[in-house]
Amino acid sequence: VGVAGLLSGTDVLDLLRRTRAVKPPVYLPGVMFNQTGLTLDDMTPLDISSGSGKEVIVIDKLMELP
């Protein structure tokens, strides 16, 4: 639970590009992103979405999942 903030955008993007098992939309934890909306390696949710071709939705609580 506490390590989600250490995920880099590049790692997530690499995983999304390599696997077909992940169907859109992709839900990412809000703690991955700082106050300006960037990951540790300066990627935005839009960068991850554009690079993977999958819709990305950032959530802060599990209750936000459909």
Is pLDDT above 70 for 1? no
Note the pTM of the prediction, 2 decimals. 0.86
Q: What is the pLDDT of residues 31-56, one digit of tens each?
A: 999 999 999 999 999 999 999 999 99
31's CB contacts (< 8 A; 6+ apart) are 4, 5, 60
pLDDT score at 11:
95
Q: Give the pLDDT band (50/70/90) at residue 63.
A: confident
HSE-up of residue 23 (Cα within 13 Å, Cβ side): 0
User: Per residue in 4-27, pLDDT tens?
Assistant: 778 899 999 999 999 888 788 999
Question: Looking at residue 52, what is its pLDDT?
Answer: 94
CA pseudo-torsion sign 41, 63, 50, 36: negative
- What residues contact 54, with CB distance under 8 A and at least 6 apart? 16, 22, 24, 25, 26
